[in-house]
Amino acid sequence: MFKISRKKTLRATHRVIRNANKHNHKKKKIQEAMLFLLKNYQRIYHLKELRTELRKKLRKRKPIKRLGGIDGIIHLCCSFNNTIISLSDLSGNIKSWTSCGSIGFKGAKRSSKFAGQSAIVKLSKKARVRGYRKVILHLNGLGRARKTCIKGFKKFGIRVRFIKDFTPISFNGCRPPKFRRL
């Protein structure tokens, strides 16, 4: 690695600022970040380092928000073949997950109501250990285990504050396959 003089780093920063002005892209933020970098770092060894430091400064972080005592979100995906349940915090980072297939059910048993309930038992234990008591429930899909799963949370000590349904419904979308003649 070679050292770049302060003059060259200044030139590079001005080039970045000029490009930002040209494209009218986050002008103020880029300028503030560049000034901060120039004040705090006496020597930047490589232009790539300068770029990476800039990106770190400009990266947005989502704040974790609390919604009236709600701890997290449970995503429940009930397909016709399997049921996948995942637990996330309010910003959407997955903390733990289970599915009927991961528990040990094979074939058509994965989509059964009992398999869905046993997946709920496993996830609710994990959730209680991590401190998730009150959650939002995001539903997706029209599987057989859907109703049983919703009831199961209440039984195993997790309070569902409200339920959002994200099931995709087609408004006369694709043409259905031709009917079977027997």
Residue 99 lies in domain:
72-165
Residue 64 Ramachandran class (φ > 0 left, ψ -120 to 50 alpha, else beta): beta
pTM: 0.60
Residue that has been written with the tokens 């979308």 in this structure: 173
**What is the DSSP secondary structure assignment for residue 164, as one 8-state letter?**
E
Do 83 and 147 fall within a single domain? Answer: yes
Q: How many domains does the chain have?
A: 2
Phi, psi of 94, deg, nearest 5: -70, 130
Q: Are residues 21 and 94 in the same domain?
A: no
CB-based contact 46:1 (threshold 8 Å): yes
pLDDT (tens digit, 9 = 90+) per residue, 41-86? 555 555 566 667 666 666 666 665 656 677 899 999 999 999 999 9
Confidence of residue 27 (pLDDT cuts 50, 70, 90): low
